[in-house]
Chain A
Amino acid sequence: EVQLLESGGGLVQPGGSLKLSCAASGFTFSSYAMSWVRQAPGKGLEWVSIISGNAGSTYYADSVKGRFTISRDNSKNTVCLQMNSLRAEDTAVYYCAKHWASGTYYFDYWGQGALVTVSS
């Protein structure tokens, strides 16, 4: 059974940093790209970042480019999102999501989410 479990959410002041982690199990982790998708309170879904299975490629939404860094450790089956220079508009539930197949942005499994609140 595929499981994705996020951790690391919390309250942070504007301009601060936070690191989210996602622990994966139930599939061959290194074979799949992983993404982070966020959802602001009461709003829709916004893709944030992707990392390829071998960590060789990363891409970011324009809204977070230069502030967020995605990484993964295939020996520990984890993917992380380092978030710096946080803004109020980054407040959201952050989901890690498994890509169904290489080269596609269809997400077949999602974690339960981690809430990030940026507020003074």
Chain B
Amino acid sequence: DVKVTQSSRYLVKRTGEKVFLECVQDMDHENMFWYRQDPGLGLRLIYFSYDVKMKEKGDIPEGYSVSREKKERFSLILESASTNQTSMYLCALSSQVNYGYTFGSGTRLTVV
């Protein structure tokens, strides 16, 4: 089975801090995604990547950036954390031959 590992389950950060959320896969899947989940708003796509060093904006990229220097690792960066970025962050990946996503366990980020 494909494994998607998110480095932290719970994080508490202060307003203005730079925050790094890491996502690592143990397979060779090309497509990786970062979502945030908020009550009543569902899953919203922040950024995604189809390959190393490639990135594309999703629906809500403002306040975020990403990095994909190696195929197995996709990082989400909050340049200056704000309280409205308190959320559950989910990393997902898929292969080119399968539409299904495999999700990580999520990181619950609280910005105070």
Say whether A and B bind each other: no
Question: Which B residues contact A (CB, under 8 angstroms)?
Answer: none
Question: Which A residues contact B (CB, under 8 angstroms)?
Answer: none
